Chain A
Amino acid sequence: MTPEQARRAITEALSQIAPETDPGSLAPDADLRDALELDSLDFLRVVETLSERTGQRIDEDDYPQLATMASAVKFLAAR
Chain B
Amino acid sequence: MPVLGADMDEGTLLEWLVKPGDQVRRGDAIAVVDTAKSAIEVESFHTGTIDRLVVGIGETVPVGTVLATIAEPGGEGARAAAQPEAQPARKRPPRKSAARTRQRRQPVAAGEALPGTASPPVRHLARQLGVDLAALTGTGPGGAVTRADVQREAAARAPATKPVIRPPQPAAGTVAARQPVTPLARRVAAELSIDVAALTGSGPDGAVREADVRRALSAARQLPQQAVAEEAAVTPAAAGGPPTRPAAPQPATRAPAGERVQAMRQAIGRLMARSKREVPHYYLSNTVDMASAMDWLHQRNRELEVTERLVPAALLLKAAALAARQIPQLNGYWEDDHFTPGAAVHLGVAISLRGGGLVTPAIHAAADLRPAELMTQLRDLVTRARGGRLRRAELTDATITVTNLGDQGVETVFGVIYPPQVALVGIGKIIERPVAVGGLIGARPVVVTTLSADHRASDGYTGARYLAALSELLQRPEEL
Chain A positions within 8 Å of B, measured between CB atoms, are: 1, 5, 9, 11-12, 15-16, 18-20, 33-34, 37-41, 44-45, 47-49, 51-55, 58-61
Contacts and interface: CB of A to CB of B under 8 A. Distances in A.
B444 interface: no
B182 A41 contact: no
B312 A40 contact: yes
Contact of A5 (B242, B255, B301): B242
Contacts of A60: 298, 301-302, 309
Contact of B247 (A12, A41, A58): A12
B382 interface: yes
Contacts of B459: none
B313 interface: yes
Closest 3 CB pairs of A and B: A39-B407, A40-B311, A19-B250
Contacts of B248: 12, 16
Contact of B210 (A11, A37, A47, A49): A49
Contacts of A5: 242, 244
Contact of A51 (B241, B302, B306, B352): B306
Contacts of A15: 247, 250
A40 B301 CA distance: 14
Contacts, number: 69
Contact of A48 (B250, B301, B302, B307): B307
B184 A48 contact: yes
7 contacts: A1-B242, A12-B247, A37-B354, A41-B378, A44-B311, A47-B306, A51-B306
Nearest to B311: A40
B206 interface: no
A19 B247 contact: no
A72 B251 CA distance: 23
Given A39-B352, A52-B184, A53-B242, 11 more contacts: A9-B242, A16-B248, A19-B251, A20-B253, A39-B407, A39-B408, A44-B311, A52-B210, A55-B241, A55-B242, A60-B302
B37 to A, nearest CB: 18
Nearest to A9: B242
Contacts of A49: 184, 210
A31 B253 CA distance: 22
Contacts of B309: 44, 60
Interface string B362-392: 0000000000000000110010000000000
Contacts of B241: 55
B32 interface: no
Contacts of A11: 247
B435 interface: no
Contacts of A1: 242
B211 to A, nearest CB: 7
Nearest to A44: B311
